Amino acid sequence: MQFLYDAPYYKVIRITGPQHNLLGLSLGHSESIEISDLASSEPHENTIKSDDVLTQVITGLKEINHQLQSNYQINKVQFVATDTPDKDVYRDLTKELIFRLHNNQDFISLSKQRPDINKTNT
């Protein structure tokens, strides 16, 4: 897996053989979570629904917050609708990404500055 920071998104890219998934999360409090599909406008027979991704992300966030005894919050989500459909992958990617942030592990930075995550984990 590759972990990137591209302000304001922390991103994880997972490629395993023919399967591939991208998930971007922006941390912060919001009344609702904004979700963006980064897929091209080309028609594709297998597309992932944004509601399914959001459900998995929220589930993963609840699980990792419980595990870490933390209170991370997400205000934006990015995904690619033409990625490989999987019933649990976005839940798992959310947990991996938050765990990595929580433990101050490295992200490849595509932006000049990475914010202090302690300010976003209130």
pLDDT band, residue 122 (cuts 50/70/90): very low
Taking only the tens place, the pLDDT of each residue in 63-120 is 999 999 999 999 999 999 999 888 899 999 999 999 999 999 999 998 766 555 554 4
Q: Which amino acid is at 106?
A: D
Structural domains of the chain ordered from first start: 2-113 (3.30.230)
